[in-house]
């Protein structure tokens, strides 16, 4: 199954906490004492507007995402390839080897989707405290080569490493990848 979505053309700008949606800030404030280097951002991806808080916790970079109204969407944590369980990594690599001549991982994130059931603050704290015990999706930014042409793709895989979707990333919109 191949699902390709609209091109990712994300622009991110840092904002003050006062510009962050109040409901979103109240969720992030529950962890503010235990995290480091917290930052707030407004994102525009094509026509979609959203908000994001980024911080460091136990040596990992986290991103907590909210929609334009401040509704909690997900938590992402940047990881290294070696932190993906072996069976899942094999499934992901198998997909990539089947569909591309070459590939290189640029960024790997575990993604924890908030299902709007239960308390958002408790969900965030659970992800921070018990992340290794919770099944996650994997969001990867991958440089792919097909027919001598390189492109950058954002791909999502489920908790077993099965491909879910992909979208091309605009070359000038991936400077956010490094953070």
pTM over 0.75: yes
Report pLDDT digits (tens) over 115-169. Answer: 877 889 999 999 998 877 788 999 999 999 999 999 999 999 999 999 999 999 9
Length of the chain equals 179
Bridge-partner residues for 145, per DSSP?
A: 102, 150
Predicted local distance difference test score (pLDDT) of residue 155: 97
Give the per-residue pLDDT at 8: 64
**Topology of the domain covering 55-63+73-178:** Nuclear Transport Factor 2; Chain: A, (3.10.450)
- pLDDT for the residue numbered 81: 96
Strand partners, 151: 144
The per-residue pLDDT for 131 is: 77
Asked whether residue 177 carries a pLDDT value surpassing 50, the answer given is no
- Give the distance, in angstroms, between the CA of residue 116 and the centroid of all CA atoms in the same chain: 18
Is residue 100 a contact partner of residue 144, using CB atoms and an 8 Å limit? yes
**Taking 70 as the threshold, does the pLDDT of residue 171 lie above it?**
no
Q: What is the pLDDT of residues 80-108, one digit of tens each?
A: 999 999 999 999 999 999 999 999 999 99
The domains of the chain are located at 55-63+73-178
pLDDT band of 9, cuts 50, 70, 90: low
Does the structure show a pLDDT above 60 at 7? yes
Q: What is the pLDDT of residue 135?
A: 81
Q: How confident is the model at residue 176 (pLDDT cuts 50, 70, 90)?
A: very low
Q: Give the distance between the most distant pair of CA atoms in the chain.
A: 50
Q: How many CA atoms lie within 13 A of 115 on its CB side?
A: 3
User: Cα(13)–Cα(20) distance, rounded to whole angstroms?
Assistant: 12
Q: Convert the pLDDT of each residue in 28-82 to its tens digit.
A: 998 988 899 999 999 988 778 999 999 999 999 999 999 999 999 999 999 999 9
């Amino acid at each position: 199954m191949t699902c390709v979505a609209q091109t990712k053309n994300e622009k991110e700008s840092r904002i003050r906490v006062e510009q962050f949606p109040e409901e979103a800030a109240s969720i992030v404030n529950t962890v503010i004492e235990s995290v480091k280097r917290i930052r707030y951002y407004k994102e525009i991806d094509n026509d979609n507007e959203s908000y994001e808080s980024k911080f460091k916790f136990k040596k990992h970079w986290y991103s907590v995402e909210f929609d334009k109204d401040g509704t909690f969407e997900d938590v992402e944590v940047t990881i290294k390839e070696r932190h993906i369980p072996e069976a899942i990594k094999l499934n992901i690599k198998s997909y990539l080897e089947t569909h591309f001549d070459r590939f290189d991982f640029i960024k790997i994130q575990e993604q924890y989707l908030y299902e709007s059931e239960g308390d958002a603050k408790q969900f965030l704290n659970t992800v921070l405290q018990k992340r290794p015990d919770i099944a996650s999706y994997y969001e990867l930014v991958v440089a792919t080569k097909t027919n001598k042409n390189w492109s950058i793709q954002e791909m999502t895989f489920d908790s077993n490493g099965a491909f879910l979707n992909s979208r091309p990333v605009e070359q000038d919109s991936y400077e956010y990848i490094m953070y």
